[in-house]
Amino acid sequence: YTSGVNKDGVSGGSDERRRRHQQAQQQQQALVTASRAAPPYGHRKGWLPRSQEDFGDGGAFPECHIAQYPLGMGKGGGDSGGGGGGSTSNALAVQLDDKGKVKYDVLARQGHAKDKIVYSKLTDLLPSSITSEDDPELQRPSIEEIEDTTEKTRQALEKLTQVKDCPVVLLSV
């Protein structure tokens, strides 16, 4: 006659309980991994995919404006498993000018040789004699100048067409 207690101090039938417990844990883990999905459309504000599980079986989220590497595709450094860990990064720090606006010329120059000329602003394309954005020749004309130019143009067109004071006569056929 055995007492029903094995050498671990667990009563008989523990194998069945242990198997049921493991199955319950596996089902719980399966539910946890299945529930790790992207929020539905319209509810993704503030949500960003951060791990490979967020991408599910693949596919990026175009409404999330960040670099995304679903299934590690396109990610350099030989780390196709995602999650970072690489020692190199080509991320750029955003630089601001004195007015607090983003300096996009830094982003435009990325990937080019240092001696390559990259035109990223309107002032880069202007002749060197006109380089200031506050230059009077680049400013909008005043209302008086606009009205004066409009009147001169109207007079020139009237002179060409010769219909300044000529009444319009409609002929019926």
pLDDT, tens digit, 9 for 90 and up, residues 38-95? 778 888 888 888 788 887 777 777 787 888 887 777 777 654 454 555 556 667 778 8
* Paired tokens of 54: 């967020």
Domain segments of the chain as ranges: 13-37+51-76, 91-133
Long-range contacts of 21-30 (CB under 8 A, 24+ apart): none
Choose the weakest-confidence range: 36-45, 143-152, 158-167. 158-167
Handedness of CA 39, 67, 82, 73 (dihedral sign): positive
The closest alpha carbon to 29, from 12, 11, 53, belongs to 53
Cβ contacts of 69 within 8 Å, gap of 6 or more: 75, 82
* Paired tokens of 63: 């409404």
Q: How big is the chain, counted in residues?
A: 173
Three-class SS string for 139-156?
Answer: CCCCHHHHHHHHHHHHHH
CA distance 70 to 57: 8
* Paired tokens of 157: 């067109």
* Global pTM value: 0.25
